[in-house]
Amino acid sequence: MEKRTILKLPGDGIGEIVLEQAIRVLDAAGFKADYVHGDIGWKYWCTEGNPLPDRTIKLLEKYKIALFGAITSKPKDDAAAELAPELQGKGLVYFSPIVSMRQHFKLDTCVRPCKTYKGNLLNFVRRNADGTIDEPNIDVVIFRQNTEGLYGGVEWTNPNDEVYKGLMTHVKFQKNFADVPRDELSISTRIFTKKATEKILRAAFEYARKFGYESVTLCEKPNVLRETSGMMFKMAKKMQAEDYPEIRLKNTNIDAQMMWLTKNPEDYGVLVAGNLFGDIISDGFAGLIGGLGFACSANIGDEVAVFEPTHGSAPKYADYPVSIVNPIAMIASACMMLDHIGEVEMAKRIRNAIAEVIEEGKVKTYDMMKMHGSPDVIEKGAATTEQMTDAIIAKL
Ligand code: NAI
Ligand code: MG
């Protein structure tokens, strides 16, 4: 096995904690790599006015593969207030560095698997008509368009003349919003391009074919969002008919899908959606398999790929003297990295080790015991972050 160089982007809060644990597991599994540190996150916003410094972009250009922990983002006014005094009043505007990274490197395919771990106390259970309880086995992979849509960043409050004039050319705008004072308008656009839509749809169908999933479910809202979701639905139908006749295309609306989440989650395989709806359904499914402590993800572009847990920096847990958070989401994200670079067997071994620890049920972080996070969960029998990692390593 050739030795790799991996960029590690710990970020803020628990991002730093869980990333170190993932690297311990990779080491124990025999993955040979040098880890180069990259600066990202809130502290660089406060001290430099840029949460994703250019030097980090250069490192990512060079090394192409990164493990990312999590960052802290705060609302506009807090962002301005926490900026170093010498940087204030210079017109600096905070923008989420993970969103910037996705857009800069065109990491347009976000992959989020949610699979039931046997024996996890947090698994979703359901009551049957005869009163018995069952625990459906969930095995879904969500493909989320990662760079456009509602998170594309094309937004205005109090739009300028050109934008306002443009909006006034739309009959619906004229009818419904013409009498709203301009400074009372906030507008976020939802832009879908054919190229990126084609790409995420194809990634979903290819994955379904490769791993034997019988369906791809498009989860949008084409009946209302006629242009964006409508285009995506039309393209999905054409692609399925022409190139993937053996795979069933299902079409659900995001709102109904959230209801079906708990009715029949086992009926879904691969799901595909735009940026916001993909974000929503992936968190929804994650809730059925144990929540944020288990939800892993990959952000994949043509050249660069970044692997991260879907959880954030959980600032309230970041400064505990002994960390209590669950490292599994980050470790499973590292497994996605291994798959991506062809170390499929190693990824499988780590996943099996995680599954064994969970099924055995002896070592559980506080979330797996349905506790509220607080420093005393350890006295109450919860494993620390490090103990969970130790247990996974022991199974390896
Ligand atoms: P969060 O994901 O950081 O935490 C929400 C709650 O989920 C936590 O309070 C905790 O109860 C639980 N949780 C999260 N990770 C866990 C883990 N590994 N083990 C056990 N429990 C875990 O989301 P929140 O509180 O909404 O945001 C905190 C900060 O993180 C914000 O500044 C937000 O902007 C940022 N954020 C960053 C993301 C990223 O870096 N990709 C994603 C989501 C939020
Ligand atoms: Mg999210």
Give the strand pairing for 139-145 and 133-134.
unpaired
Structural domain boundaries in the chain: 1-111+295-396, 124-145+192-288, 155-188
Q: What architecture is domain 1-111+295-396?
A: 3-Layer(aba) Sandwich (3.40)
Instruction: Specify the residue with its C-alpha closest to ligand 1, atom 4.
Output: 314
Atom of ligand 1 nearest to the CA of 373: 11
Mutate which of 313, 385, 389 for ligand 1? The one with the most ligand atoms within 8 Å of its CB, which is 313
Using alpha carbons, select from 122, 126, 120, 123 the residue that is nearest to residue 138.
Answer: 123
Q: Are the CB atoms for 135 and 345 separated by under 8 Å?
A: no
Instruction: Specify the residue with its C-alpha closest to ligand 1, atom 27.
Output: 312
Structure tokens at 211: 């791993």
DSSP string, 314-334: -HHHHT-SS--S--HHHHHHH
What pLDDT, on a 0 to 100 scale, did the predictor assign at position 26? 98
Which uninterrupted H or E stretch holds 349?
A: helix 344-360
DSSP percent split of the chain into helix, strand, coil, nearest 5: 45, 20, 35
Question: How many Å apart are CA 337 and CA 7, to the nearest integer?
Answer: 12
pTM here is 0.94
Ligand located closest to 312 CA: 1
* Centre of ligand 2 from the C-alpha of residue 279, in Å: 5
- In sequence order, the β-bridge partners of residue 299 are 110, 306
Provide CB contacts within 8 A for 172, sequence distance 6+.
none
Q: How many residues does the chain have?
A: 396
Question: How many Å apart are CA 62 and CA 281, to the nearest integer?
Answer: 33
3-state secondary structure 161-227: HHHHHHHHCCHHHHHHHCCCCHHHCEEECCECCHHHHHHHHHHHHHHHHHCCCCEEEEEECCCCCCC
* Centre of ligand 2 from the C-alpha of residue 85, in Å: 32
What pLDDT, on a 0 to 100 scale, did the predictor assign at position 1? 78
Task: Write out residues with Cβ below 6 Å of ligand 1.
Answer: 18, 70-74, 98, 292-293, 308, 311-316, 325-326, 329, 367, 373
* Chunked mean pLDDT (size 10), the chain, 396 residues: 94 98 98 98 97 98 98 92 94 92 95 97 95 96 97 94 97 97 97 98 98 97 97 98 98 96 95 97 96 96 97 95 97 98 97 98 97 96 98 98
What pLDDT, on a 0 to 100 scale, did the predictor assign at position 194? 98
Q: What architecture is domain 124-145+192-288?
A: 3-Layer(aba) Sandwich (3.40)
Structure tokens at 7: 């960029």
- In sequence order, the β-bridge partners of residue 288 are none
* Centre of ligand 1 from the C-alpha of residue 373, in Å: 12
Q: Are the CB atoms for 309 and 9 separated by under 8 Å?
A: no
Atom of ligand 1 nearest to the CA of 308: 41
